A and B are shown apart, each in its own frame.
Chain A
Amino acid sequence: MRVHVDFEKCRSNGLCVLAAPEVFDLDEEGFLHFETNPDASLAGAVRDAAQACPTRAIDIDEP
Chain B
Amino acid sequence: VSRVLIVGASLGALRTAEALRDQGFGGSITIAGAEPHLPYDRPPLSKAVMTGASSLEGAVLPLRGDLEVDWRLGRSAVRLDVARRVVALADGAELPYDGLVLATGARPRIPSAWAGVGGVHVLRGLDDARALRAALAERPRRIAVLGAGFIGSEITASARGLDLPVALIDGARLPLAGAVGDRVAEYVAAQHRAHGVDLRTESTVAELEHRNGRLVGLRLADGTLIDADLAVVGFGVTPNTEWLESSGLVLEDGIVCDDQLRTHAPTGPLSGVVAVGDVARWPHPLAAGATVRIEHWSNAAASGAIAARTLLHDLDAAPTHPPARDTVPSFWTDLYDVKLLAVGLPALATTSTVLSGSVEDGRGVVGYGRGGRLVGAVAINDARGLAPYRRLLAAGSAWPPEPPPGPNASAMSRPSESPDYAQEQS
| A14 contact from B297, B339, B408, Cβ within 8 A | B339
Chain B residues 330-385 with CB under 8 Å of chain A are 330, 332, 334, 339, 341, 343, 363, 379, 381, 383-384
Chain A contacts for B15, CB-based, 8 A: 51
CB distance from A45 to the nearest CB of B (A): 11
Interface residue stretch chosen among B133-141, B161-169, B386-394: B386-394
Chain A contacts for B381, CB-based, 8 A: 28, 30
In the assembled complex, B27 has its CB within 8 A of some CB on chain A: no
Interface band, chain A? 10 to 19
| A13 contact from B41, B301, B341, B387, Cβ within 8 A | B341
> Is B386 a contact partner of A13 (Cβ separation < 8 A)?
no
> Is A14 a contact partner of B334 (Cβ separation < 8 A)?
no
| B343 contact from A13, A18, A22, A25, Cβ within 8 A | A18
In the assembled complex, A43 has its CB within 8 A of some CB on chain B: no
> Is A21 a contact partner of B407 (Cβ separation < 8 A)?
yes
In the assembled complex, B247 has its CB within 8 A of some CB on chain A: no
CB distance from B377 to the nearest CB of A (A): 10
Chain A residues 18-63 with CB under 8 Å of chain B are 18, 21-22, 25-26, 28, 30, 51-52, 54, 56
Known contacts A14-B332, A15-B298, A18-B341, A26 near B41 by CB under 8 Å: no
**Complex Cα spacing A56 to B40, Å:** 13
A-B pair number, CB within 8 angstroms: 59
> Is A22 a contact partner of B407 (Cβ separation < 8 A)?
yes
Known contacts A12-B339, A14-B379, A52 near B330 by CB under 8 Å: yes
CB distance from A44 to the nearest CB of B (A): 11
CB distance from A43 to the nearest CB of B (A): 14
Known contacts A26-B384, A30-B381, A18 near B330 by CB under 8 Å: yes
In the assembled complex, A11 has its CB within 8 A of some CB on chain B: yes
In the assembled complex, B62 has its CB within 8 A of some CB on chain A: yes
In the assembled complex, B176 has its CB within 8 A of some CB on chain A: no
Chain B contacts for A12, CB-based, 8 A: 339
In the assembled complex, B266 has its CB within 8 A of some CB on chain A: no
Residue of B with least CB distance to A51: B301
Chain A contacts for B65, CB-based, 8 A: none
> Is B388 a contact partner of A52 (Cβ separation < 8 A)?
no
- Which residues of B are at the interface with A, using a C-beta cutoff of 8 A? 15, 41, 43, 62, 297-298, 301-302, 305, 330, 332, 334, 339, 341, 343, 363, 379, 381, 383-384, 386-388, 390, 406-408
Shortest Cβ-Cβ A-B pairs, 5 listed: A14-B383, A21-B387, A17-B383, A26-B383, A13-B332
